[in-house]
Amino acid sequence: MRRALIILAALLVTACGGTEPGTRAAGTDKVNAGVIAIVDTAPIHLGKAKGFFTEQGIDLTITPVQGGAASISGAVGGQFQFAFANTTSLLTARQQGLDVKVVANGVSSTGQQGKDFSAVLVEPGSPIRSPKDLAGRKISVNQLKNIGDTTVRASVRKAGGDPGGIEFVELPFPDAPAALKSGQVDAIWVVEPFVSQAISQGARPVAWNFADAAPDLTVAMYFTTSRTDPDLTRRFTAAMRRSLEYADGHPDEVREILKTYTKISPEVIAKIYLPKWPVEVNKASVQTIADLARADGVLKDRIDVSTLVP
């Protein structure tokens, strides 16, 4: 009788106790993913809603983070099993010797001039008429020495200008349009929904920097660390790939899911340029960003992207 009670108590403890993220429970793995609450990350939210992660035995929690630095530190520190960060942030982390490994594409440029989710904008009366005219100007980016200034410089070079004299100013995306209107900066680099918002307020696009930097640029990716179980990584990747494919083929559902996790108004959501979500990472474009970042001094050494993207 005593032995039976001990066994029963143990079973009750197991049933009532919590499980750590990444551990198996009731046939599923509880997973915590660090993800920025922006347009780019619509596929993972849509995939969760559609049950793609559940089908892979994953009980997914999506934790909002402020940016790539927070997602990388959270993953390396063990808070997240998977996370989302832009290409330059991941390349920088890899160069610093951090334990990061890409498992799935995150978001990509449309590659279309005039119809991308990233742009450089100026006031309507500005003398800046082309990317070449951005040389020597003061331009806002949301983070210095990252994918923004690297791709803006690429736009200027492509147009035949010298990007060496550009002064980049760090401003959060939401603050950029006001800084442009006040004359604090000559131009702003923003992504959606701020591209559409600024254009609706009269700003004029002069460069589509993601489209200029590389064909079909891979802008960000999902990643993990060597700490994560390989089978769990395989299943997360499978769910993520299905989520990307679904999002890319169902733009109306993407616009609907954006209403559930962002603060973008429905009116703006209806107008924004959506990015592309191809299943495969464009490794050539990642290498291009790595080489451009090295040329700009953002990265110290040349990085072979195969060490980051299997």
**How high is the mean pLDDT of the chain?**
91
Higher-confidence position of 284 and 5: 284
At residue 255, what is the residue type?
A: R
Residue 27, pLDDT score: 75
DSSP state of 51: T
pLDDT > 70? residue 145? yes
Residue 15, pLDDT score: 38
- What are 146's two structure tokens? 């990252």
Task: Please name the residues in contact with 51: beta carbons below 8 A apart, sequence gap of 6 or more.
Answer: none
Burial of 79 (0-12, 13-18, 19+ CB in 10 A): middle
pLDDT > 70? residue 175? yes
pLDDT > 50? residue 4? no
pLDDT tens for each residue of 192-225: 999 999 999 999 999 999 999 999 999 999 999 9
pLDDT tens for each residue of 78-97: 999 999 999 999 999 999 99
Residue 67, pLDDT score: 86
Spatial separation of the C-alpha atoms in residues 82 and 105, rounded to whole Å: 12
pTM, two decimals, is 0.88
- In the three-class reduction of DSSP (H, G, I as helix; E, B as strand; rest coil), residue 109 is classed as coil
pLDDT > 70? residue 21? no
Contact 64, 263 (CB under 8 A): no
Residue 125, pLDDT score: 96
Residue 224, pLDDT score: 98
Contact 103, 234 (CB under 8 A): no
- What are 102's two structure tokens? 């890409």
Contact 292, 150 (CB under 8 A): yes
Residue 310, pLDDT score: 82
DSSP state of 21: T
